[in-house]
Amino acid sequence: MDQTPPRASAPLERLHASRREFLTRVAQASAVLGGSAIAGSAVAQAPADAGAGIPNAAVLAGKDSVLAIHSERPLTASVPAEHHNFLVTPTRRMFVRNNLNTPELDASKHVLTVRGLVDRELTLTLDDLRKMNVWEQQAMLECAGAGRTAFRPTPRGTPWSETGGMGCPKWTGVSLAEILRMAGVRNGAVHVAFLGMDRGPLPTIPPVVRSIPMAKAMERHTMIATGMNGETLTPVHGAPMRSLVPGWVGSASIKWVTAIEVLPAPFKGTYMDDSYRIPGIPVAPGEKMPADALSTEDWPVKSMITFPGPNARYRRGQVVPIEGRAWVGESSIRRVDLSFDEGVTWQRASLDRRGDRYAWRRFSLDYFPEKSGYQTVLARATDDRGNAQPFLPAWNPLGYYWNGVHRVGFTVEA
């Protein structure tokens, strides 16, 4: 990072004029963002030198080599189902989904501001949070576009594999509700927005801001997390603090959170209005997103087979121990059925006891193949509202909510 202070040479003055142009554009962009304080202050905080943040090589040194990298700028990476056969997703295998660079933040200087429709504005440090009710939960975090490459035609955006782009680690933190109660939410509060500290290479890039409805913000599992799997958050997962909106699309959970703003309406900005939206009624590929498209929120019911991996080989007479995970955003898993004949008949798998509210559930079944040769297993989960996974989820322009039935093939040798 070049930290040299600006010199007052004539050309620099003029170059600054062009930087001013940028800033004017940023101001225009924030006008588009609704001119809300959160956007304005984000711009004020944007560093003059965006720098490159923490290099990917340093981030990836903390990750397992089975993590597939989907893009390097911004960094996105995840493991497919066969590398995800853990009850709790290890930090080294948790997916990475950056919008911009991985910022390097000083935990001792970081502050979280709470403002907007509140009685008292708060400025909280990491130490302040540690003095509140810190608790732990296992909870799903899944990118809205997880599984995107299974859609045909494949929409643009991070090419997550069919079972990539999600994970279920343990999170430590403080309920957002406790923080909001401390600030005192005023009448007329409708949404709560989070602002992240990540920045990109140009000052014109709008900061990452998303907002969620008040009811979800006050639900006790929504937290400001400071730890993952019993350790302090690693930089790429949002250190020193991040929001965690379990069961909802990952974009609702903002890493490196530095401001929370209570708003009288949903936040207006590119991460709300241009992304993370899905048509209420399917549209043809190539058609524009309809103006009344909905904001993505909770994940529909989904499952994956974590064992065996693709193309495993078994001997005749050997048991095939099928194992997987099933989850759903705002309901619970009622059952998981497996099919060994491409969906003609189904057998009920056994489900482990329910753990934390937003954690996935393990399912399993010991299968005794009666014939040899190549065979497949399909998994289909059903939630408590009676929704079952479809074979082919509705196509949508940005490729969100892939929850198609997962199939794995294996071979039984004679």
Residues that bind ligand HEC (CB under 6 A): 74, 99, 156-158, 200, 202, 204-205
Task: For residues 198 and 217, give the distance between their C-alpha atoms in angstroms, rounded to a whole number.
Answer: 22
- Residue 66 near which of ligand HEC, other proteins, none (CB within 5-8 Å, type-dependent): other proteins
Phi then psi for residue 219, to 5 deg, are -70, 135
Residue number, 155 or 309, with CB nearest to ligand HEC: 155
Task: Enumerate residues 220-259 that contact other proteins by CB under 8 A.
Answer: none
User: What is the DSSP code (8-state) at residue 202?
Assistant: S
Question: Does residue number 1 form part of the binding site for other proteins (CB under 8 A)?
Answer: yes
Residue number, 100 or 193, with CB nearest to other proteins: 100
Written as one letter, the residue type at 241 is: M
Sign of the CA dihedral 212, 217, 222, 223? positive
- Residues with Cβ within 8 Å of 21's Cβ and at least 6 positions away in sequence, in order, are none
Residue number, 33 or 262, with CB nearest to other proteins: 33
Classified as helix, coil or strand, 54 is coil
Residue number, 147 or 157, with CB nearest to ligand HEC: 157
Phi then psi for residue 214, to 5 deg, are -50, -40
Q: How is residue 93 written in tokens?
A: 């295998």
Is residue 123 within 8 Å of 380, Cβ to Cβ? Answer: no
- Among 8, 18, 344, 370, contact with other proteins (rule: CB under 8 A): 18
Kindly write out the interface string for residues 283-302 of this chain, putting x where it contacts other proteins by CB under 8 A and - elsewhere: --xxxxx-------------
Collect contacts of 12-19 with beta carbons under 8 A, ≥24 apart: 19/203
Task: Enumerate residues 83-142 that contact other proteins by CB under 8 A.
Answer: 100
Phi then psi for residue 353, to 5 deg, are -60, 155
Between β-strands 257-263 and 112-116, what pairing exists: parallel, antiparallel or unpaired? parallel
Question: Does residue number 159 form part of the binding site for other proteins (CB under 8 A)?
Answer: yes
Q: What is the CA radius of gyration of the chain?
A: 23
Residue number, 156 or 315, with CB nearest to ligand HEC: 156
**In the complex, minimum distance from the CB of residue 6 to other proteins, in angstroms, rounded to a whole number:** 5
Task: For residues 255 and 20, give the distance between their C-alpha atoms in angstroms, rounded to a whole number.
Answer: 29
**In the complex, minimum distance from the CB of residue 84 to ligand HEC, in angstroms, rounded to a whole number:** 22
Is residue 356 within 8 Å of 332, Cβ to Cβ? Answer: no
- Among 5, 280, 317, 386, contact with other proteins (rule: CB under 8 A): 5
- Residue 122 near which of other proteins, ligand HEC, none (CB within 5-8 Å, type-dependent): none
Residue number, 285 or 321, with CB nearest to ligand HEC: 285
- Among 31, 58, 87, 319, contact with other proteins (rule: CB under 8 A): 58
Task: Enumerate residues 197-216 that contact other proteins by CB under 8 A.
Answer: 200-206
**In the complex, minimum distance from the CB of residue 269 to ligand HEC, in angstroms, rounded to a whole number:** 12
Residue number, 76 or 375, with CB nearest to ligand HEC: 76
Task: For residues 328 and 110, give the distance between their C-alpha atoms in angstroms, rounded to a whole number.
Answer: 34
Question: Does residue number 29 form part of the binding site for other proteins (CB under 8 A)?
Answer: yes
**In the complex, minimum distance from the CB of residue 157 to ligand HEC, in angstroms, rounded to a whole number:** 4
- Residue 167 near which of other proteins, ligand HEC, none (CB within 5-8 Å, type-dependent): none
- Residue 244 near which of ligand HEC, other proteins, none (CB within 5-8 Å, type-dependent): none
- Environment class of 109 (CB within 10 Å of its CB; exposed 0-12, middle 13-18, buried 19+): exposed
What residue has token string 């003059």? 48
Q: How far is CA 189 from CA 37, 115, 153, 157, in A?
A: 15, 12, 40, 33
The binding site for other proteins (CB under 8 A) comprises 1-2, 4-7, 9, 11-12, 14-15, 18-19, 25-26, 29, 32, 48-52, 54-55, 57-58, 60-61, 63, 65-69, 71-74, 77, 100, 152-154, 156, 159, 200-206, 270, 274, 285-289, 397
